[in-house]
């Protein structure tokens, strides 16, 4: 669930609008990522948030597919795609993730799309599937996505370990994701998502606005102007010292002064 707060800067876009790709440059997601990476050195926070958005999109597409195939009713979706009712209907007990040989599932109690074809129809060729069915993420895709979040951000010494996330919250996530039958629903990450949104709202977004709205110059532009200023100052000092050492009188007639 995303947190939406009133923008304290008037007509400027909110962080939620930037993360939802509803804004234009210079206050856009691309520039926000550049600032998070190059200036604030905390791109892992935004990377995790965006990867989690992708995971939520996979879950939404999966739930819609289950609804089209009759495994979920309209009343199940009345409270949203991540409601406890939907979670209960799509419980992991129907989708074994372990490598052990599972017992023969009952097609009546198991969603058709997640059973092995030989257990339901005997021989079901992939050519018989429609393009829409092929593009629907499976429960294994969801599990792989959640495991990528674990291995990339949450385990110790990960490639983009989230040091900004409290240790207690990371440990609770690892505990759930490292179980033999781990959860893969986005609701598991809701507390982490809310915490990191608040973190970016207070620690990163105000600095981003100062750089892109009020400053509106890049780091290289700042360095370029600094170098030009220092070179101009050096040239002025060099010229003045040269005139002194060459013996020019300090109060001589300047070239811009005319005698009338």
Over the stretch 150-209, which tens digit does the pLDDT of each residue have? Answer: 999 999 989 999 999 999 999 999 999 999 888 888 889 999 999 999 999 999 999 999
Most trustworthy range by pLDDT among 61-75, 91-105, 210-224: 61-75
- Residue 92: its H or E element: none
How many other β-carbons are positioned within 10 Å of the β-carbon of residue 112? Answer: 15
Q: What is the mean pLDDT of residues 19-46?
A: 92
Reported pTM? 0.66
What is the residue-wise DSSP string for 116-165? -HHHHTS---GGGS-HHHHHSPPHHHHHHHHHHHIIIIISTT-TT--TTS
Distance CA 159, CA 155 (A): 9
For the chain, how far is it from start to end, CA to CA, in angstroms?
Answer: 81
Q: What is the mean pLDDT of residues 126-133?
A: 47
Give, in degrees to the nearest 5, the angle at Cα 139 between 136 and 144: 105
Distance CA 70, CA 64 (A): 10
pLDDT at 117 exceeding the cut of 90: no
Among 47-51, 132-136, 154-158, which stretch is predicted with the lowest mean pLDDT?
Answer: 132-136
Q: Which phi and psi angles does 183 have, rounded to 5°? A: -80, 155
Contact 205, 17 (CB under 8 A): no
Q: What is the pLDDT of residue 129?
A: 43
Among 10-19, 28-37, 125-134, which stretch is predicted with the lowest mean pLDDT?
Answer: 125-134
pLDDT at 105 exceeding the cut of 60: no
């Amino acid at each position: 669930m995303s947190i939406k707060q009133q923008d304290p800067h008037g007509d400027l876009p909110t962080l939620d609008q930037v993360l939802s790709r509803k804004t234009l440059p210079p206050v856009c997601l691309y520039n926000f990522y550049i600032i998070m990476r190059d200036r604030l050195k905390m791109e892992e926070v935004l990377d995790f948030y965006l990867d989690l958005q992708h995971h939520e999109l996979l879950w939404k597409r999966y739930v819609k597919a289950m609804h089209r195939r009759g495994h979920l009713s309209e009343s199940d979706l009345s409270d949203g795609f991540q409601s406890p009712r939907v979670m209960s209907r799509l419980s992991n007990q129907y989708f074994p993730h372990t490598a052990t040989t599972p017992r023969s599932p009952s097609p009546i109690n198991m969603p058709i799309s997640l059973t092995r074809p030989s257990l339901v129809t005997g021989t079901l060729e992939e050519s018989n599937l429609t393009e829409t069915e092929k593009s629907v993420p499976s429960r294994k895709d969801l599990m792989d996505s959640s495991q990528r979040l674990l291995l990339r951000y949450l385990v110790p010494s990960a490639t983009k370990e989230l040091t900004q996330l409290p240790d207690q919250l990371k440990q609770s996530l690892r505990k759930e994701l490292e179980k033999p039958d781990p959860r893969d629903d986005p609701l598991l990450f809701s507390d982490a998502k809310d915490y990191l949104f608040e973190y970016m709202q207070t620690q990163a977004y105000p600095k981003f606005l100062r750089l892109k709205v009020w400053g509106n110059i890049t780091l290289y532009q700042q360095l370029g102007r600094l170098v030009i200023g220092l070179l101009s100052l050096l040239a002025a000092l060099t010229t003045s010292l040269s005139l002194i050492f060459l013996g020019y009188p300090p109060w001589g007639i300047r070239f811009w002064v005319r005698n009338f």
